[in-house]
Structure 1
């Protein structure tokens, strides 16, 4: 029978190995926080990505951190992809399901009343010195319960 300290050490080593393998393909990830935990329609969330490896397709994702004070089950937002000259390369409307529409259960990962949900964006290529923008496209001007919006780039394995 293993002693308690040895079991704890084994669990720690296994956890570190698992965690180190989780983000091996992540190239970039950043979140923009909303200090008052609400997203105003005038607040365009922007991410500028300058130095990425040029080779290979990429998986682009949006991340939404939200809590249970968000009053809808989904979130409509515009996704704009701009090049270095500020020309729009892609303009897309995205519908993110934050809560299950039938059961009301929050989707994504987290615990308590806070969750993070990632969803894939409709592009696999980024122009050099790209700027990514997100604008909420809901009927209300202020969305309570949205804590932050993030952008993630991961390398796709070929």
Structure 2
């Protein structure tokens, strides 16, 4: 019976995966202490530069996180290491008035998926790297558990 249940759960997980995702990865932040010098990098392949992509931040924080927002600087580089763009983004993790957490929570942890770029067209097919650095002026920034990105093929509905 246990084997059947495990196989059912695995099959359900396989069918529930997002077929538009071409890349998705997280990096755990050790002990929930995100140091400024720790700038996770995510390297992915774009096979078709003729179609648009949506790029998302993935973030997990503890309810003990001390702010309602999070400032991140992102750097997108091509295969040669040339910076295509950099930008400072503000992510809203909690309602600033009520303190109610945004995202999906289970216990003390909350997962977030924030749109970073909508319908982005990469300059050409190839390898790209997205690097993310916290920009909160607190070093280390406490209670951020993991950070990552998802790159999805854009569909007309999104």
**TM-score range normalised by the length of the shorter chain:** 0.7 to 0.9
Cα displacement (A) at 1:81 = 0.4
SS in 1 for 2:15: helix
* Distance of 1:22 and 1:102 partners within structure 2: 35
TM-score when normalising by structure 1: 0.83
SS in 2 for 1:41: coil
- 1:110 paired to 2:105: yes
1:6 is matched with: none
In the TM superposition, 1:71-86 aligns within 5 A as 71-86=66-81
Contact 1:48–1:132 under 8 Å retained in 2: yes
1:69 is matched with: 64
Aligned equivalent of 1:49, options 39, 44, 48? 44
Map Cα deviations across residues 63-111 of structure 1 (whole Å, 9 max, x no partner).
1110012101100010110011111111111000011101101110122
1:143 is matched with: 141
Contact 1:96–1:119 under 8 Å retained in 2: yes
- Determine which structure has more spread, i.e. the larger CA radius of gyration: 1
* Distance of 2:51 and 2:153 partners within structure 1: 7
- 1:32 paired to 2:27: yes
Aligned equivalent of 2:122, options 121, 126, 135? 126
Cα displacement (A) at 1:53 = 3.7
TM-score when normalising by structure 2: 0.83
* Distance of 1:106 and 1:74 partners within structure 2: 11
Q: How many residues align?
A: 146
Divergent runs of 4+, >6 A: none
SS in 2 for 1:120: strand
